[in-house]
Amino acid sequence: MIRKSFALSSLVLASAFATSAFAETPTIVTEPFVSTKTRVEVQAELAAYKQAGVNPWSTQYNPLRGFRSATTREAVTAEYIASRNVVRELGGEDSGSTYLAQQRSTGYEASTLAGQPRNAQ
């Protein structure tokens, strides 16, 4: 009895997995495709791409491989040391509000105040 029920359940399970799966209806595009480039132009672009030897979709792509900085290491280090106190203050617990409140405005005084008519004479 157990063998018959096992065989029957196996048959039902196998038939469930053996049914076909139907995909959704594909999108039908009615307007015809009109290329803006000729076949020769596309082939020329492909040849130039292959000749360049750079594949940005590759896992070995390194855009900084040929990078050369115009600034010296010493100049970058000096700039960091000069600005680290400001960075510490702006990144502090009060988000730099105390530091910014103590700084004097280096800009110009506005001659137009909010609320004045635009065409006032």
* 51 located within any domain: no
- Sign for the pseudo-dihedral over CA of 112, 113, 116, 117: positive
Instruction: Using the predicted structure, report yes or no on whether residue 111 has a pLDDT greater than 90.
Output: no
Stated pTM of the model: 0.32
| CA distances in angstroms from 104 to 61, 92, 96, 99, 101, listed in the order given | 47, 19, 14, 10, 8
pLDDT digits (tens, 9 = 90+) for 78-90: 998 988 888 888 8
Q: Which two structure tokens, joined as six digits, stand for 29?
A: 């595009």
DSSP 17-77: HHS---PPPPPPP-SPP--SS-HHHHHHHHHHHHHHT--TTSTT--TTTT---SS-HHHHH
Instruction: Using the predicted structure, report yes or no on whether residue 119 has a pLDDT greater than 70.
Output: no
Per-residue model confidence (pLDDT) at position 121: 55
Containing domain of residue 90, as a range? 71-102
Q: What is the DSSP letter of 95?
A: T
* Residue 90 burial (CB count, 10 A): 14
* 93 located within any domain: yes
* 111 located within any domain: no
* 84 located within any domain: yes
Q: Number of folded domains in the chain?
A: 1
* 8 located within any domain: no
* 92 located within any domain: yes
* 37 located within any domain: no
Lowest mean pLDDT among 3-7, 33-37, 60-64, 65-69: 3-7
More confident residue, 25 or 44: 44
